[in-house]
Amino acid sequence: MDLIEQAERDLRWLVDCPDLLVTPASIRLPDPFLTNQPIDWSPVIRFHETKSPYRVGYYVEALVQAWLGVTPGIEEIQQGIQVRKEKITLGELDFLFRRDGELQHLEVALKFYLYAPDRIANGSHFIGPNAADNFERKRDRLLTKQLPFGRLYDPEIQRSQHLVKGVIFYPEGVSEIDEMPDNLNPLHARGTWQFYSELKDRSAEMMAKPFWLDLGETRAVELTQPISHPCLFTDESGYHHFVVEDSWPL
């Protein structure tokens, strides 16, 4: 499968995936495949030509840039705007663009969280594969820092919005959340997770970065040795499954 064909599948996945975070600042974008103009995949091509072709977050931003490019009313798209004061970098805005003449700011994220009802890390049961990350921390940082930062950078910005897609992974045998965090979409996409020691079949197809969205590049692995970091797997239907080390989330 070539890069553009994969990008089409991944953007389709991104469009169809329910928003993970839902607030009044959630952006609404039309289906890019239903517009009357062809999608410009040059942001995706440029991403693969960079020194960071395995960064899933940067890949998602490239897909979103292609999405914005065919959205009616959106123009003057800027991506990755570095905000500096003198020689100090204060932060970065994911996107700036004009929509129907209005200057808007957009923050984008793809997040995967493992729901662990019997474990807690940094006050959360919704823990990232990197346990320093969790749903509540990302939500609060986005709403209290990243979105307000746009207007601090440019008072002309009339609207700051977010597009947060992702998956909540459930442990085997668990299908419901005991207490839903504020702003977590109850209709979120789902996957499953388990500890390495719980695996019965140690043969699997490991998903290769940055193609962690739709079924893309994978490699067959035989997990004969304990793993040292969380690994993402998929099956032929594209269903996502994490395997974590037995000490996770420590």
The pLDDT score that the predictor gives to residue 53 is 78
Q: To the nearest whole percent, how much of the chain has pLDDT over 90?
A: 72
Q: Quick one: pLDDT band at residue 106, thresholds 50, 70, 90?
A: very high
Query: For the chain, which residues make up each domain, given as ranges?
Result: 3-244
Q: Are residues 131 and 121 in contact, defined by beta-carbon separation less than 8 angstroms?
A: yes
> Structure tokens of 82?
């570095």
Measured CA to CA in angstroms, residue 211 lies from 74, 110, 161 at distances of 27, 12, 25
Mean pLDDT (whole number) for 77-102: 90
pLDDT tier at 219 (50, 70, 90 boundaries)? Answer: confident
Who wins on pLDDT, 237 or 60?
60
Q: Does the pLDDT of residue 164 top 80, yes or no? A: yes
What integer best gives the mean pLDDT of the chain? 92
33 three-class SS: helix
Entry pTM: 0.93
CA distance 217 to 208: 6
